[in-house]
Amino acid sequence: MSTEFQEAEVPEADSRDTTEGRVYTVSGGDWEDLIEDSRHDERMVINMGPQHPSTHGVLRLVLEMEGETVTQLRSVIGYLHTGIEKNCEYRTWTQGVTFVTRMDYLAPLSTEMAYCLGVEKLLGIQAPRRAELLRVMLLEINRIGSHLVYIATGGMELGATTAMTLGFREREEVLHLLEHLTGLRMNHAFIRPGGLAQDMPADYHEVVSAFVKTMDERLPLYDKLFTGQPIWRNRLKGVGYLPVDACLALGVTGPVLRSAGLPWDMRKTEPYSRYEEFEFDIPTSTEADCWARYLLRVEEMHQSLRIIKQCLKKLEPGPVMVEDKKVAWPAQLSIGSDGMGNSLEHVRKIMGQSMESLIHHFKLVTEGFKVPPGQTYTSVESPRGELGVHLVSDGGTRPLRVHVREPSFVNLQSMPAMAEGGLVADVIAAIASIDPVMGGVDR
């Protein structure tokens, strides 16, 4: 592209010459035009975010308003861009888990699951039964924690401080449990291609059972405090309406789609990781508003507890990683007494087997395993909807392409449809009902 053509295409772009060539600085799009258009009538253009508390510092909504009514809404994203997908293409297949877990940081295990299912599909392997059941248990624990953040932050943004204190109190139970089971509160990188990083601690059955008992006792409190509360009900009822045809047109999934009456849940429609063996219901509604989405998420937490109880009954002793030693690192990881790195006994065992064994372990850790050429798309049901991962392999030790169909990114398209024509105060309720995680949107 010639310099003359560039300058003709972007006349508002300032340029300067550097040692690396000419650099262009493009102004902020059509913001000036918007201001000019609205200067002579009753309309007002305002920024809501990214500093606004309800957008969590990472989402900007440009609102065009007439009085208190929103006439046009545009979402501006990119404030949390991290380049995770591109980074994965420069790491081994196993190292990619450490990156994708940081996308949706409220449901990291869901992204790990989708990514690892894709790698396993390309490899033509399947995780052992115990690993698959433990994956389901961890995913449902994580789902409860994610929905609790929805209630906590959504309530706080609408002025219900009690929702925030209660929601984060229960979420702390979830994070304590996940830390005990996986070693980390968030961004676990615990689900690995071929299985899990390691088996559960010896007391996992008692600890998980105690968690289920605690949540069974505390969840009814949310119905007492919020479901039957007229202010909470009136604040959400009829707000953020999005019917099923609009959901399908925009590709919206998860609780937002199910609140419009379509029982689309990947755990039932396209089961994975032995979900077909579990008995649980997919709650739906036809109200298609913020109130219905709140009720659905509360009921989904009850269903998740139901699945966790079944997991505990189904679990039997067995391996948590495939037997193929060319894939199976680091399932036999033995953590040192300081919690950092391999224990000395584990290192001594590796080095004491044979020189070939040591070389193989070194190459597996540093280079990774090769994945046959091909491409695949695998999807799971994250707390926010259908989360799919498209992987392309050229036969090497690194992905050629990693792309994630992130439900928060797709669902955020529905903001104009939900908010335009309503009051500016209801924009906040609509955002909360979508429950977007901007780490997944921008990735």
Q: What's the confidence (pLDDT) of residue 28? A: 57
Q: What tens digit of pLDDT does each residue of 343-371 get?
A: 667 667 766 666 776 777 777 788 888 88
Closest Cα partner for 386 from 250, 279, 278, 285?
A: 250
CA distance linking residue 298 with residue 313, whole number of Å: 24
Per DSSP, the three-state class of 43 is strand
Provide the pairing of β-strand 385-393 with 401-405. antiparallel
Residue 89 DSSP label: T
The whole-angstrom separation of Cα 358 and Cα 346 is 12
Cα 301 → chain centroid: 16
- Measure the CA–CA gap between 330 and 231, rounded to whole angstroms: 52
Q: Residues 423, 427, 433, 434: is their CA dihedral positive or negative?
A: positive
Q: Please check the confidence at residue 96 and state whether its pLDDT lies above 50.
A: yes
CATH 3.30.565.10 fits 85-327+369-442, yes or no: no
Residue 111 has pLDDT above 70, yes or no: yes
335, 183 in Cβ contact below 8 A? yes
In this prediction, residue 6 carries a pLDDT of 47
Provide mean pLDDT across the span 99-112.
90
Which tokens is 9 given? 């295409």
In the DSSP assignment, the letter for residue 335 is B
pLDDT the model gives residue 443? 81
d(CA 273, CA 314) in angstroms, rounded, equals 13
In this prediction, residue 330 has a pLDDT band, given cuts at 50, 70 and 90, of low
pTM: 0.85
Residue 331: pLDDT above 70?
no
Instruction: Calculate the alpha carbon distances from 96 to 257, 324, 371, 441 in Å.
Output: 30, 20, 13, 18
Instruction: Supply φ then ψ for residue 156, to 5 degrees.
Output: -60, -40
Q: Label residue 104 by pLDDT band (50, 70, 90).
A: confident
pLDDT at residue 435 in the model: 86
What is the DSSP secondary structure assignment for residue 199, as one 8-state letter?
P
3-state secondary structure of 75: strand
Tally of helices (H runs) and strands (E runs) in the chain: 19, 10
Q: Are strands 21-25 and 14-18 parallel, antiparallel or unpaired?
A: antiparallel
Q: Is the pLDDT of residue 117 over 90?
A: yes
Residue 7 has pLDDT above 50, yes or no: no
What are the pLDDT digits (tens) for 263-297? 999 999 999 989 999 999 999 999 989 999 999 99
Pairwise CA distance, residues 161 & 152, whole Å: 8
Domain ranges of the chain: 1-34, 85-327+369-442
pLDDT at position 183, please?
85
- 3-class DSSP state of 63: strand
Neighbours of 376 (CB within 10 A): 15
Sorted by sequence, the CB contacts under 8 Å of residue 163 that are 6+ apart come out as 151, 152, 154, 155, 156, 225, 226
Give dist(CA 291, CA 167) in Å, integer. Answer: 17
Cα–Cα distances (Å) from 414 to 81, 185, 228, 329, 436, in that order, read: 21, 31, 28, 42, 11
- Using the predicted structure, report yes or no on whether residue 391 has a pLDDT greater than 90: yes
> What's the whole-number mean pLDDT along residues 23-40?
60
- Give CA angle at 50 (39, 416), nearest 5°: 65
215-225: b (≥16 Cβ within 10 Å) or e: beeebeebeee
- pLDDT tens digits, residue range 197-249? 888 888 899 999 999 999 999 999 888 888 888 888 888 898 889 999 999 99
Over residues 33-91, the pLDDT tens digits come to 655 655 556 778 888 877 777 777 788 888 888 888 888 888 888 888 888 989 999 99
Kindly report, residue by residue over 144-197, the tens digit of the pLDDT.
Answer: 999 999 999 888 888 888 888 988 999 999 999 999 998 888 888 889 998 888
